[in-house]
Structure 1
Amino acid sequence: MVELIVVMVLAGILAAYAIPKVSGALGARDDAWHDSLQGALRFAQKGAVARRRLTCVTITSTTVTVSSAAVNPASSCTSNINGPNGTSTFASSTNSSSATTVSPSGTIYFQPDGRVTTDGAGTTSANRTITMSGASSITVYGETGYVE
């Protein structure tokens, strides 16, 4: 009985030490996803202006892909832009339980002048808000394409 109590006390001490470390590691993982997503959006906005091409960003709960139009003017993106790891996925989250949403939903279109619009034709500028679990939200301003 004494041995059982000693084991339980030791397990409690280890749990009190380990739980903050695990939650800190999970928070760092969410921060990394936030930073990767923000970097992809900034890359897309700057790339649209530099290439003078429509650039599209598609965000799922765990991945970001960036694509570009082959010619200008265009209303859709046809060529994937490879991310830092050389694949068509520009950024990905290692947290499979992360919940990332774009409001209003859908593809984010960066026009050649840097604006963010609701469609590839560029008729209406719109602010976009990207929210994710465990991290602060990201706002993309429609008229300027500024990512905050």
Structure 2
Amino acid sequence: MSASSTERGFTMVELIIVMILVGVMAAYAVPKFAAMTNLSQDAWRDQVKSALRYAQKAAVSHRRLVCVDISGATITLQIASVNGATSCNTPLDGPGNAGSFGGSPPAGMSTAVTPSGTIYFQPDGRATLMNSGIHTTSGRTVSMTGVLPLQLFGETGYVQ
């Protein structure tokens, strides 16, 4: 046997130092990933809020009915083609005529409106609900997973 043979591998000190470094990096990175998830949820809430406000302002400025449909995965805006119509039949372009306004929440996040159904913004800005073919003023709550709900006040169309 030769006395000059070398053994390969890591020493215990090297392994412990690497484990400590990985632990410190994980402690720093995990909160960043959680914050990124919260940001995407907040962004969806802000998008729903801005869509509702945009719909209300578009109804007043165009003097037409604007319809908002919010499901668990999408939000779509439509506008009536003529003043005095009781339903919407044309997609509402987004700000700056940027195409159809809509979007979807991050994965795992759902959205629900209470009471359910299409939100109708009247030309005077009120938010209404269709009951037996008649528009009645109705406040709404828009609930989303992981964030505070939005309140829509029927008489004014204000979103909070």
Distance in 2 (alpha carbons) for counterparts of 1:109 and 1:64 = 13
Partner of 1:125: 137
**Counterpart amino acid of 1:143?**
E
What's the % identity of the aligned pairs? Answer: 48
1:72 aligns with 2:83: yes
1:24 partner SS: helix
Map 1:1-148 → 2, pairs under 5 A: 2=12, 4-84=15-95, 86-93=98-105, 95-119=106-130, 123-148=135-160
Instruction: Report the alpha carbon displacement of residue 26 of structure 1 after superposing the two structures with TM.
Output: 1.0
- Aligned Cα root-mean-square deviation (Å): 2.0
- Report the TM-score when normalising by structure 1: 0.88
TM-score by length of 2: 0.82
Unmatched tracts of structure 1, length 5 or more: none
Between 1 and 2, higher relative CO (CA 8 Å, sep ≥ 6) is seen in 1
Q: Which amino acid aligns with 1:45?
A: Q
Structure 1's consecutive aligned runs of 4 or more residues displaced over 6 angstroms after TM superposition are: none
Q: Deviations over 1:79-138 (max 9, x none)?
A: 001235834243333x12111111111111101111111128553111100011222111
Structure 1 residue 6: Cα displacement: 4.2
Q: Aligned pair count?
A: 147
Q: Is there any run of 5+ residues in structure 2 with no aligned partner, and where?
A: 1-10
Of the structure 1 ranges 34-43 and 111-120, higher mean CA displacement relative to structure 2 is found in 111-120
Secondary structure of 1:136's counterpart equals coil
> Contact conserved, 1:62 with 1:96, CA < 8 A, in 2?
no
